Amino acid sequence: MVVNQSLKGRDFISLHDFSVEEIALILETGLQLKKEQKAGIPHPILAGKTLGMIFQKSSTRTRVAFEVGMYQLGGHALFLSPRDIQLGRGETIQDTALVLERMLDGIMIRTFSHDEVLELAHWASIPIINGLTDLLHPTQVIGDMMTIIENKGSLKGIKLAFVGDGNNVAHSLLNGGAKTGMDVVIACPKGYEPDAGVLSQAQQDAKATGARLWVVENPIEAVSGADVVYTDVWASMGQEAEAAEKEQKFLQYQVNRELMSHAHKDAIVLHCLPAKRGKEITDEVMDGPQSVVFPEAENRLHAHKAIMALVM
């Protein structure tokens, strides 16, 4: 596969940073790399290159997808936990960036503070990939949109209902919808809405594609006529102290058979995982015929490969 060079050297921090055409390129590349991998066609696009992976937050899918992805692209991935590097002992992000850029070809960082990713990108001359922050989760949403294309044929005109906390995944779904013409509605209790700045920015972006982006309180209203129903844990990593309180406030936001009855009959169900089964989603739905949760998880591998192949 010959990879388009137009994104080479770019950081991948927010979907907002990319044009409509560039997001389409990333999705097309991911789907093509998946097709080749399934056909047993090798694609050592990043042979001889090394990705450093900084994990301030624990991970299953992100770590495995980036590590296996680099292997399949012919490169090498280096796992860097706070216990293993000086960043965890007080070395500045600036110094860390200026050292790592001389040894690596790219850095993936998964952390709490979005500002840390921005600062790392400011100082490092190599591509920085945002593997998750408390504000955004863009790599996840590339995989999500690939999954929707595989099941629905396209993104434009599709209605996606996200039911739950207006969190980092919700933010990146708003950005993704804006760039692809996919309608995105977020259903959440009062006080748990998406960041107003992110929503406003996404709505501005949506003018180019005609996507509709809005927030409601009633989950049935959101899910009515939806082609895709998406949920996530109610308390994200680092919010464990709020879990009990959130469970009470989010009881009506469980994705169960009754809620799904308001969506299109052929609606698909997405969840970024890990799931709290019996909380935000029932086993009946997650393991049911409408669920594409595990193919969605697999697509993280192909999405991450596309991002790395294009920017590194």
Residue 149 sits in the same domain as residue 282: yes
Identify the band that residue 241 occupies on the pLDDT scale cut at 50, 70 and 90.
Answer: confident
Question: Which residue in the list 114, 272, 302, 304 is annotated as catalytic?
Answer: 272
Question: Which residue in the list 63, 110, 114, 271 is annotated as catalytic?
Answer: 110
In a domain, 2, yes or no: no
232 is catalytic: yes
pLDDT, one tens digit per residue, over 52-108 is: 999 998 899 999 999 999 999 999 999 998 777 887 678 999 999 999 999 999 999
Question: Which residue in the list 56, 72, 140, 254 is annotated as catalytic?
Answer: 140
The domain in which residue 280 lies consists of: 140-297
Residue 293 sits in the same domain as residue 305: no
Q: Above 80 in pLDDT, residue 240?
A: no
In a domain, 153, yes or no: yes
User: What percent of the chain has pLDDT above 90?
Assistant: 91
Residue 184 sits in the same domain as residue 247: yes
What is the model's pLDDT at position 88? 62
In a domain, 92, yes or no: yes
In a domain, 8, yes or no: no
Residue 132 sits in the same domain as residue 192: no
110 is catalytic: yes
In a domain, 5, yes or no: no
What is the model's pLDDT at position 162? 98
Burial call 51-74: b when 16+ CB within 10 Å, e when fewer: bbbbbbbebebbbebbbebbebbe
In a domain, 196, yes or no: yes
Residue 107 sits in the same domain as residue 120: yes
Alpha-carbon gap, residue 250 to 248, rounded angstroms: 6
61 is catalytic: no
pLDDT, one tens digit per residue, over 147-183 is: 999 999 999 999 999 999 999 999 999 999 999 999 9
Residue 62 sits in the same domain as residue 103: yes
Residue 197 sits in the same domain as residue 183: yes
Q: Determine the average pLDDT of the residues in 270-291.
A: 97
Residue 116 sits in the same domain as residue 200: no
In a domain, 6, yes or no: no
Q: CB under 8 Å to 47, separation ≥6 — which residues?
A: 73, 74, 75
Question: Which residue in the list 56, 183, 232, 304 is annotated as catalytic?
Answer: 232
Residue 148 sits in the same domain as residue 268: yes
User: What percent of the chain has pLDDT above 70?
Assistant: 99
What is the model's pLDDT at position 216? 98
Q: Which residue type sits at 104? A: L
Q: Which two tokens stand for residue 258?
A: 């009754």
Q: Determine the average pLDDT of the residues in 103-117.
A: 97
Alpha-carbon gap, residue 224 to 261, rounded angstroms: 9
Residue 293 sits in the same domain as residue 150: yes
Angle at 161 between CA 158 and CA 166, to 5 degrees: 135
Question: Which residue in the list 63, 114, 137, 171 is annotated as catalytic?
Answer: 137
Question: Which residue in the list 63, 171, 300, 304 is annotated as catalytic?
Answer: 300
Mean pLDDT, the chain, rounded, equals 96
Check which CATH number belongs to the domain holding 271 and give it. Answer: 3.40.50.1370
Residue 250 sits in the same domain as residue 304: no
Number of domains in the chain: 2
Residue 124 sits in the same domain as residue 157: no
Identify the band that residue 245 occupies on the pLDDT scale cut at 50, 70 and 90.
Answer: confident
300 is catalytic: yes
In a domain, 63, yes or no: yes
Place of tokens 């990108």: 121
- 3-state SS, the chain, equals CCCCCCCCCCCECCHHHCCHHHHHHHHHHHHHHHHHHHCCCCCCCCCCCEEEEEECCCCCHHHHHHHHHHHHCCCEEEEECCCCCHHHHCCCHHHHHHHHCCCCCEEEEECCCHHHHHHHHHHCCCCEEEEECCCCCHHHHHHHHHHHHHHHCCCCCCEEEEECCCCHHHHHHHHHHHHHCCEEEEECCCCCCCCHHHHHHHHHHHCCCCCCEEEECCHHHHHCCCCEEEECCCCCCCCHHHHHHHHHHCHHHCECHHHHCCCCCCCEEEECCCCCECCCECHHHHCCCCECHHHHHHHHHHHHHHHHHHHC
What does DSSP say about strands 50-55 and 76-80: parallel, antiparallel, or unpaired? Answer: parallel
Place of tokens 């960082």: 109
Measured in whole angstroms, the distance separating CA 162 from the mean position of its chain's CA atoms is 13
272 is catalytic: yes
